[in-house]
């Protein structure tokens, strides 16, 4: 079936109002959970084939997060979808004000390869919970996981409700040429701009989850042992291919050597002396990205180098201890297991340097100083982040996850996913018992009475 036929089928399905029924939405989410469980072993195998993820990491960062999102939506769907009473302004007396939670219609979800299951299904769960139909486009760079996703969605939903499109660049172009009611895109800035440009032609709203160079700041008051462990985990999780991974470390000069030594100790504690042999350490997604990361290391003498294997597209953890703001590794998002370390002397310097660059998706600050914490959290703009941890802010149903500026627009997770895929429709129901005459012509010469209502 041609794409335009699928879209017309989904528009017809949406107009019939089936997806607006709360029980239908709930049953669909529960069926999705059942089929995920039935195919869980296939998902482990696919995530290992695409990214070298261990079973534990696959569940921790992908499968478990999807289950958690389904559980949240099923549990809270009634309250999220319930019309919300709003305060009515005195000028509208007597009346009632209500906000209805209206699904957009047919939405497009385009997902990346680095967390191919989670970043496809978590936004889809929000879209379906909100009452939409969806076209899903998983990444061609993670083909094994995309195959299992397509199988699960085909078994769970009719194509008039949820349809999966596979393929590469041409498939993306074909999709973006069509008119959707909402587009949710996760990926890089280059394709993000193309998505936004295509959406603008149809005046289609978008959520863009992009990326950027997320700084990790460690001041001289920090718990060095804890900071090192959490930085190493956050950076080398998924072989560094995480949009919110600490992209580089800014460390106070007085503790640099202690932090470097502690990070090396934690690399070996997590992955052993030979990280490439660890069952818990993944691989680079493709030869193209392997070569890109290798070029970033040309001319560098790493403080720590965990090895490389071009046959299996593996690069071990790398620490660059003599980086500065002009280093090659500091010019673009790394998206791999390379960690530049830049020294600073005072926090004002750090603030100026970060502000001079595009707004990051995440920011991490290790400190024991509440005053410094408050200062940076209130003076720097970034998508989200942690104090004394990395990554974990996105594992929450109660806070929105998303970027700002060049790192994206819009947020999701939990109730914020529902909001993202919902238009809040405001309706004023006016009484017919009284009709205030002051709004009608002919108007009086004096504004005195009107100003009592509008001030």
Both structure tokens of 433: 């018992």
End-to-end CA distance of the chain: 58
Can you tell me the mean pLDDT for 385-395?
Answer: 96
198-252 confidence digits (pLDDT tens): 999 999 999 999 999 999 999 999 999 999 999 999 999 999 999 999 999 999 9
Asked whether the beta carbons of 206 and 180 are under 8 A apart, the reply is no
Q: Which residues are catalytic?
A: 209, 243
Give the predicted TM-score (pTM) of the model: 0.95
Is residue 1 scored above 80 in pLDDT?
Answer: no
Is residue 182 scored above 90 in pLDDT?
Answer: yes
Q: How confident is the model at residue 448 (pLDDT cuts 50, 70, 90)?
A: confident
Which residues does residue 216 pair with via DSSP β-bridges, in sequence order?
Answer: 249, 364
Can you tell me the mean pLDDT for 327-352?
Answer: 96
362-380 confidence digits (pLDDT tens): 999 999 999 999 999 999 9
Percent of the chain whose pLDDT exceeds 90: 93
Contacts of 281 (CB under 8 A, 6+ apart): 52, 236, 239, 271, 275, 314, 316
What gap in Å lies between CA 290 and CA 282, rounded to an integer? 13
Is residue 336 scored above 90 in pLDDT?
Answer: yes
Q: How confident is the model at residue 288 (pLDDT cuts 50, 70, 90)?
A: very high
User: Collapsing DSSP states into helix, strand and coil, what is residue 390?
Assistant: coil
User: Collapsing DSSP states into helix, strand and coil, what is residue 337?
Assistant: coil
Q: How confident is the model at residue 163 (pLDDT cuts 50, 70, 90)?
A: very high
74-88 confidence digits (pLDDT tens): 999 999 999 999 999
Asked whether the beta carbons of 398 and 445 are under 8 A apart, the reply is no
Asked whether the beta carbons of 206 and 185 are under 8 A apart, the reply is yes
Asked whether the beta carbons of 222 and 342 are under 8 A apart, the reply is no
pLDDT in the model for residue 31: 98
Can you tell me the mean pLDDT for 14-34?
Answer: 97
pLDDT in the model for residue 221: 97
pLDDT in the model for residue 187: 96
In 3D space, the residue among 329, 383, 429 whose CA is nearest the CA of residue 83 turns out to be: 429
pLDDT in the model for residue 437: 84
Asked whether the beta carbons of 411 and 401 are under 8 A apart, the reply is yes
In 3D space, the residue among 390, 326, 340 whose CA is nearest the CA of residue 361 turns out to be: 390
**Strand pairing category for 182-186 and 106-110:** parallel
What gap in Å lies between CA 75 and CA 94, rounded to an integer? 36
- The H-or-E segment that residue 150 falls in is helix 143-156
In 3D space, the residue among 187, 244, 252, 182 whose CA is nearest the CA of residue 224 turns out to be: 252
Q: How confident is the model at residue 183 (pLDDT cuts 50, 70, 90)?
A: very high
Both structure tokens of 211: 């990326």
Place of tokens 């500091």: 330
Place of tokens 């703001």: 325
Contacts of 70 (CB under 8 A, 6+ apart): 29, 30, 32, 33, 125
pLDDT top residue among 439 and 166: 166
Number of CB atoms found within 10 A of residue 14's CB: 22
Q: How confident is the model at residue 397 (pLDDT cuts 50, 70, 90)?
A: confident
Contacts of 10 (CB under 8 A, 6+ apart): 106, 133, 135, 160, 161, 163
247-281 confidence digits (pLDDT tens): 999 999 999 999 999 999 999 999 999 999 999 99
In 3D space, the residue among 206, 266, 209 whose CA is nearest the CA of residue 390 turns out to be: 266
């Amino acid at each position: 079936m041609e794409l335009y036929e699928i879209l017309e089928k989904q528009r017809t399905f949406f107009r019939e109002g089936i997806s607006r029924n709360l029980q239908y939405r709930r049953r669909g989410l529960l069926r999705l959970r059942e089929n995920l469980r039935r195919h869980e072993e296939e998902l482990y195998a696919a995530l290992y084939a695409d990214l070298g993820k261990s079973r534990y990491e696959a569940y921790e960062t992908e499968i478990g997060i999807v289950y958690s999102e389904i559980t949240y939506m099923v549990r809270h769907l009634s309250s999220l979808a319930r019309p919300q009473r709003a305060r009515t302004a005195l000028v509208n007396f007597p009346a009632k004000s209500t906000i209805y939670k209206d699904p957009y219609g047919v939405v497009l979800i385009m997902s990346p390869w680095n967390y191919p299951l989670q970043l496809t299904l978590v936004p889809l769960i929000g879209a379906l919970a909100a009452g939409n139909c969806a076209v899903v486009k998983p990444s061609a760079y993670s083909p094994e996981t995309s195959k299992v996703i397509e199988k699960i969605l085909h078994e769970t939903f009719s194509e008039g409700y949820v349809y999966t499109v596979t393929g590469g660049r041409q498939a993306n172009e074909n999709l973006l040429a069509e008119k959707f009611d909402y587009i949710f895109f996760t990926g890089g800035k280059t394709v993000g701009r193309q998505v936004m440009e295509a959406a603008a032609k149809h005046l289609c709203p978008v959520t863009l989850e992009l990326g950027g160079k997320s700084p990790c700041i460690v001041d001289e008051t920090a718990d060095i042992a804890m900071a090192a462990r959490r930085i190493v985990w956050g950076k080398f999780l998924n072989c560094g291919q995480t949009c919110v991974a600490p992209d580089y470390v800014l460390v106070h000069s007085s503790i640099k050597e202690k932090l470097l030594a502690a990070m090396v100790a934690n690399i070996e504690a997590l992955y052993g002396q030979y990280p490439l042999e660890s069952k818990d350490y993944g691989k680079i997604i493709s030869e193209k990205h392997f070569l890109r990361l290798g070029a970033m290391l040309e001319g560098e003498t790493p403080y720590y180098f965990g090895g490389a294997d071009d046959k299996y597209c593996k690069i071990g953890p790398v620490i660059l201890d003599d980086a500065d703001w002009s280093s090659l590794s500091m010019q673009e998002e790394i998206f791999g297991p390379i960690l530049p370390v830049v020294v600073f002397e005072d926090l004002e310097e750090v603030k100026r340097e970060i502000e001079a660059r595009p707004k990051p998706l995440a920011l991490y600050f290790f400190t024991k100083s509440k005053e410094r914490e408050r200062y940076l959290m209130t003076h720097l703009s970034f998508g989200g982040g942690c104090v004394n941890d990395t990554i974990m802010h996105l594992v929450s149903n109660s806070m929105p996850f998303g970027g700002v500026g060049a790192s994206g627009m819009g947020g999701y997770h939990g109730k914020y996913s529902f909001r993202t895929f919902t238009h809040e429709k405001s309706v004023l129901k006016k009484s017919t018992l009284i009709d205030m005459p002051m709004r009608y012509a002919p108007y009086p010469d004096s504004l005195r009475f009107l100003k009592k209502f509008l001030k």
